[in-house]
Amino acid sequence: EAGVTQSPTHLIKTRGQQATLRCSPISGHTSVYWYQQALGLGLQFLLWYDEGEERNRGNFPPRFSGRQFPNYSSELNVNALELEDSALYLCASSLAHRGNQPQHFGDGTRLSIL
């Protein structure tokens, strides 16, 4: 069974540009979560999508947005990039209809802002 896949692995942008990160969940998983992890520290919750709808959003500005497609893959968009957006962005998926199921993570996209 293929795990959660994220692309690209690395992304280098300059201030003010826009970045698009992609995530493919494990087959059969309908929920996708996005997290920001700066400097190998804790995870900051960004967004949760389930069945194509945004279910919850973390404390991030509106320039962080995303969507979930009919095949349950997801995209995270970050507009007007700032230096502090440099981080590892992790995507996770789970069987949302059963809250006792763990999240399964991809290896992340490392976003560097120059």
Q: Which segment (14-22, 38-46, 59-67, 75-83) binds other proteins by CB under 8 A?
A: 38-46
Contact call for residue 48 and other proteins (CB under 8 A)? yes
Q: Is 89 helix (H, G, I), strand (E, B) or coil?
A: strand
User: Do 101 and 94 form a contact (C-beta atoms < 8 A)?
Assistant: yes
Q: Which of 18, 27, 56, 112 binds other proteins (CB under 8 A)?
A: 56
The length of the chain, given as a count of residues = 114
Number of other CB atoms surrounding residue 65 within 10 Å: 16
Among 2, 28, 42, 59, binds other proteins (CB under 8 A): 42
Which of 32, 92, 111, 113 is in the footprint of other proteins by CB under 8 A? 92
Q: How far apart are CA 50 and CA 24, in angstroms?
A: 13
Instruction: Decide if residue 112 touches other proteins (CB under 8 A).
Output: no
Rounded to the nearest angstrom, the gap between the alpha carbon of residue 84 and the centroid of all alpha carbons in its chain is 17
Shortest distance, CB of residue 43 to other proteins, whole angstroms? 5
